[in-house]
Amino acid sequence: MSDMFSVTLPSGAIWTPTFVAALDEEKCIGCGRCFRVCPRGVLELVGLDEDGEHIALAGDDDEDDEYEKKVMTIAHKELCIGCTACAKICPKKCYTHAAAAAL
Ligand code: SF4
Ligand code: SF4
């Protein structure tokens, strides 16, 4: 793991964060739990149409939206700090996290 990004905690312990890498849209039920716990604005709820394409949600007026279901997406992966709160709270085990290569 020496070539992976890690930080030294105040205790002196080494911690290797694992960052959000993938989200399984097949399993996702769009419950929004992960969105609520993410402290970094990484995630975004979108509509998924019958062709598997993402559709931006209109906000408070859903009536004309043509989507099959709502799914969470990783909208801003670069903002992730690797806390894994999203994976811990997800009831469907949608998330894959991975350590990052050190620069
Ligand atoms: S690991 Fe933490 S910061 Fe990254 S997407 Fe999940 S909740 Fe947000
Ligand atoms: S917590 Fe899991 S099932 Fe719920 S919206 Fe997030 S990824 Fe989807």
Task: Kindly state if the Cβ of 23 falls inside 6 Å of ligand 1.
Answer: no
Rg (CA), the chain: 16
Give the ligand whose atoms come closest to the C-alpha of residue 37: 1
**Residue 90: exposure state from Cβ atoms within 10 A (0-12, 13-18, ≥19):** buried
**Residue 69: exposure state from Cβ atoms within 10 A (0-12, 13-18, ≥19):** exposed
Considering its fold, how many domains does the chain have in total?
Answer: 1
Which residue range forms the structural domain that includes residue 33? 25-96
Residue 13 within a domain: no
> What Å distances lie between residue 82 and 5, 49, 61, CA to CA?
11, 30, 33
Indicate the pTM of the whole model: 0.89
Q: What is the pLDDT along the chain (103 residues), one digit of tens a residue?
A: 469 999 999 999 999 999 999 999 999 999 999 999 999 999 999 999 989 899 998 766 556 668 889 999 999 999 999 999 999 999 999 999 999 999 8
Task: Kindly state if the Cβ of 90 falls inside 6 Å of ligand 1.
Answer: no
Residue 35 within a domain: yes
Choose the residue to mutate in 23, 25, 26, 34 for probing ligand 2, maximizing ligand atoms within 8 Å of C-beta.
34
Closest C-alpha to ligand 2, atom 3: 28
- Among positive and negative, which fits the CA dihedral 27, 32, 38, 43? positive
- 36: CATH: 3.30.70.20
